[in-house]
Amino acid sequence: MDNYTNDNTARRYKAHVSIFGTTQLHLRNPYIIAWWSAAFPGFGHMLLSKYLRGYALFIWEVIVNVKAHINSSMIYSFQGNIDMAKEVLNTRWLLMYIPVYLFGIWDSYRTTIDMNRVYLLAEREEHRFNSFSLGALEINYLDKRDPILAVMWSSFIPGLGQLYLHRILTAIFIIVWLVVFYYYSHIQEAVLLLVLGKVKEATSVLKPEWLLFIPSHYGFAIYDAYINTVENNKLFKKELRGYLTEHYQSEGFQIKKGRKVK
């Protein structure tokens, strides 16, 4: 068995490489994670690689938001039509939405602080982890990638940046929900009509309550792809440095401090 496989021989690992992606611990700003949870419940947890919790909160947000007509109410509020904004709200769903929304923000903030502590402990233990995974369906390995390319592909279609980085599960989740948002918002039809110069028709076919999901979706996909590319590059360098030190550096090698020249 590979001595570097994550087989619980160490108390804490910094990373795990599987055929579905690379999961790693690194320092994160809890306020940024909480902000993403406020922008769209589930995003903060997905940034922390807490995928099951993140997916659950994301799906909850979409279902309850649509049922409570929260986005529609926001649109009327932006237009200054406060009475209509109150009227469209479905309070039966809204009262369920608020506690879960607040929980997502609080839990992502709390979890970030805890995971930062775990990372510092794992960094001190410096236990080696697997850096290559070969399976029947996929191959994944640590490698350097370009953050700009990750941003570029995510800007074209959210999820492509994650595929470039080999974050398979997150990529599939983002792409599937992008299709859902595109379909129900009719944004593709609106763009085609706009290109044809039919501005009024383009505006009329849009479904704003679904359209409002798309900016957050794009923003998260771009941010997630960029941050994880940068952190994966750091992880690759650390892993390679440790391997070269262990296998190629002489045991008697020492770096001596020289005298300061006055």
Question: What confidence tens digit (pLDDT) does each residue in 112-142 have?
Answer: 999 999 999 988 888 878 888 888 889 998 8
* Residue (of 180, 132, 143, 185) closest to 158 by Cα position: 180
C-alpha–C-alpha distance, residues 234 and 214, integer Å: 31
CB-side neighbour CA atoms (13 Å) of 224? 32
Q: Which residue has the higher pLDDT, 254 or 81?
A: 81
Assign 3-state DSSP to the chain and report helix, strand, coil percentages, each to 5. 65, 5, 30
Residue 71, token pair as written in the block: 């986005």
For residue 3, give every residue at least 6 positions away whose Cβ sits within 8 Å of its Cβ, in sequence order, or none: 128
193-203 burial, b for 16+ CB within 10 Å, e for fewer? beeeeeeeebe
Tell me what pLDDT residue 2 has.
44
Tell which residue, 253, 15, 2, has the closest CA to residue 127: 15
Query: For the chain, what is the mean pLDDT?
Result: 89
Whether the predicted model's global pTM rises above the 0.75 cut:
yes
pLDDT at 259: 64
- pLDDT for 63 equals 95
Pairing mode, if any, of strands 21-24 and 15-18?
A: antiparallel
Helices (H), 69-167: 70-78, 82-88, 91-125, 147-156, 160-164
Per-residue pLDDT tens for 85-104? 888 888 889 888 999 999 99
Tokens representing residue 205 in the block: 């076919």
**For residue 68, which phi and psi values (nearest 5 degrees)?**
-85, -10
Task: Give the pairing of strands 139-141 and 132-134.
Answer: antiparallel
Domain range list for the chain:
143-236
pLDDT of residue 128: 79
CA–CA distance, 147 with 144 (Å, rounded to integer) = 9
Tens of pLDDT, residues 23-39: 999 999 999 999 999 99
Position 10 pLDDT exceeds 90: no
Residue 147 reports pLDDT greater than 70: yes
Above 70 in pLDDT, residue 11? yes
pLDDT above 70 for 3:
no
Which tens digit of pLDDT belongs to each residue from 218-250?
Answer: 999 999 999 999 999 999 998 888 888 777 877
- Both structure tokens of 195: 């290109």
| Position 49 pLDDT exceeds 70 | yes
pLDDT digits (tens, 9 = 90+) for 177-221: 999 999 999 999 999 999 998 888 988 999 989 999 999 999 999
